[in-house]
Amino acid sequence: MDKKAFEVGPQSYEWLGKKKSGELFWAEVSLTSSHIGGEGRVLSVLRDISDRKEIENKLQYVSSHDSLTGLYNRSFFEAARERITAGRKYPISVVVADLDGLKSVNDTHGHEAGDLLIKSAANILSSVFRSEDVVARIGGDEFAILLSESDERVTSALLERIREAEQQHNSGSVLVQVRLS
């Protein structure tokens, strides 16, 4: 990069550095060529951008996740579907689940209970699928799961695991039962 700054012009890049203490930090490095005392030099300016990177990471998370459940959101799901389809990681399976009775729970027990029901369904789904699967809340009471390299046999086994996890959850003393269609 020093050579490029000298031959082409100013350069800047982000770099993960390490402090003397061993702590990692993000830095923005700006390089500019100059002549000092008749000799070509490259001036470097290093600026700690750790706070900015932390904010960028938070914004990235918020833009791709559902705020209530922590699952991926519809926008992320659609982008992942396109990416997986283009990558040709076949076979691809999509599971769509609807949370039964949410309106009734909201009307009878209030929206706080409805939110708890949605979170419980999200936890059930998260516990069943692999970390590489895309589990998303795509609507108020709708969930979708994108499974790459999963054939009908694998998907059927996962659907059975959803039923088992649902049954295990409902066997505890819960205010409202989770039922996914």
Q: Cα separations (Å) of 6 from 29, 30, 43, 46, 134?
A: 15, 12, 10, 17, 45
**Number of domains, the chain:** 2
Q: Return the CATH number at 140.
A: 3.30.70.270
In this predicted model, what pLDDT tens digit does every residue of 126-173 receive, in sequence order? Answer: 999 988 999 999 999 999 999 988 899 999 999 999 999 999 999 987
In a domain, 22, yes or no: yes
Q: Which domain holds residue 40?
A: 2-53
Residue 29 has which token pair? 């490095």
pTM: 0.78
In this predicted model, what pLDDT tens digit does every residue of 2-20 receive, in sequence order? Answer: 888 878 889 999 999 999 9
Q: Are residues 20 and 69 in the same domain?
A: no
Q: What is the mean pLDDT of residues 55-64?
A: 96
Q: Are residues 83 and 143 in the same domain?
A: yes
Residue 118 has pLDDT above 80, yes or no: yes
Average pLDDT, the chain: 93
Starting at the earlier edge strand, list the strands of the sheet with 24-36: 11-18, 24-36, 39-48
Q: Return the CATH number at 15.
A: 3.30.450.20
